[in-house]
Each structure stands twice: as C-alpha cells, then as structure tokens.
C-alpha cells in the first residue's frame, strides 16, 4: 500500500490484495438533500459494481475510459478481477467513490453506457454488496 494510505492501516496490505488508488480529493462531492430518484443508489452508498465490461479490457483501459467521462478525482479504489488463466477480466469491476453523490453521478452516466473498445456491450451499474473503501480492502484480502 502506498504512503497515501498509511494513515488508514498500521501495516501494509498483503501484495495479493487489490491496492487502492491514492486519490483523496472530495472536490466533486455534493451532498444534497431530498429524495433519491428511483433506480439510483441510496444516499449512503459509495461502492458501485460495474458489469458487462468487455473481457479484453485491462484495468488501465477501464480506468482511462472512466476518467475520460469526468471521474478522475471521484474515486479512491477500483478493482477489476482478472481470470489469470485466460488473461481476461471477469466482466465486472468494483469502484469506491469518495462520496455518495459521485456514485449517483457514475450510475447515471454508466448505466446503459456502451464501452468504446472490443464490444458494444451496455454497462450495468448497481450498488456493491460491500460498501466503503476500508470494508472492500478487508473483504478482498480474504
């Protein structure tokens, strides 16, 4: 784990754990009040599951595409599981956003989004079962 995460953990994460991206800018956060529109994640969700990712996408390609859509300073962790035998991703990723409003914006942007490379698949976005940066780091280290 990088120096930027040292404040969260007394000891570094094992190398087999998905490592967080060292981003901690919350400049895009807009904590609004009122009802959440139907079909969007709740006001407390920060971790999204992005599905239907083309199998040939590598993490760097997915990150570049997400960031090209205006999310470069919006998240602190992204994990794209890979099938090491086939050297393809498994079709989904987890992304933890710095605040719920950024996850809501991501959900609106990437629901039914067509990936730019290798396929014309439409993305699906839903709240992940595990929420939060620390909770995901712990979950994916086991």
- The pLDDT assigned to 142 comes to 59
Q: Which uninterrupted H or E stretch holds 94?
A: strand 92-97
Cα(99)–Cα(22) distance, rounded to whole angstroms?
A: 15
Cα(114)–Cα(92) distance, rounded to whole angstroms?
A: 14
Name which of 53, 117, 45 is nearest 79 in CA terms.
Answer: 53
Read off the pTM.
0.69
Residue tagged 């992940």 (tokens) = 128
Residue positions counted in the chain: 142
- The pLDDT assigned to 73 comes to 86
- The pLDDT assigned to 134 comes to 78
Cβ atoms < 10 Å from Cβ of 24: 13
Phi-psi region of 54 (alpha: psi -120 to 50; beta: other; left: phi over 0): beta
Q: What is the pLDDT along the chain (142 residues), one digit of tens a residue?
A: 333 333 333 334 445 445 544 443 333 444 333 344 444 444 578 899 999 999 999 999 999 999 999 998 889 888 898 888 988 999 999 999 988 889 999 999 999 999 988 888 899 999 988 888 777 777 776 5
């Amino acid at each position: 784990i990088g120096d930027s995460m040292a404040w969260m953990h007394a000891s570094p994460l094992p190398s087999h754990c998905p490592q967080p991206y060292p981003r901690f800018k919350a400049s895009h956060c807009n904590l609004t009040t009122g009802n959440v529109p139907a079909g969007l994640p709740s006001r407390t969700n920060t971790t999204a599951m992005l599905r239907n990712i083309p199998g040939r996408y590598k993490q760097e390609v997915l990150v570049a595409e997400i960031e090209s859509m205006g999310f470069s300073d919006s998240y602190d962790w992204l994990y794209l599981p890979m099938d090491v035998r086939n050297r393809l991703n498994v079709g989904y990723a987890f992304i933890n956003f710095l605040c719920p409003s950024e996850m809501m914006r991501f959900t609106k942007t990437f629901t039914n989004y067509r990936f730019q490379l290798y396929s014309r698949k439409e993305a699906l976005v839903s709240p992940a079962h595990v929420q939060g940066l620390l909770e995901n780091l712990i979950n994916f280290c086991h």
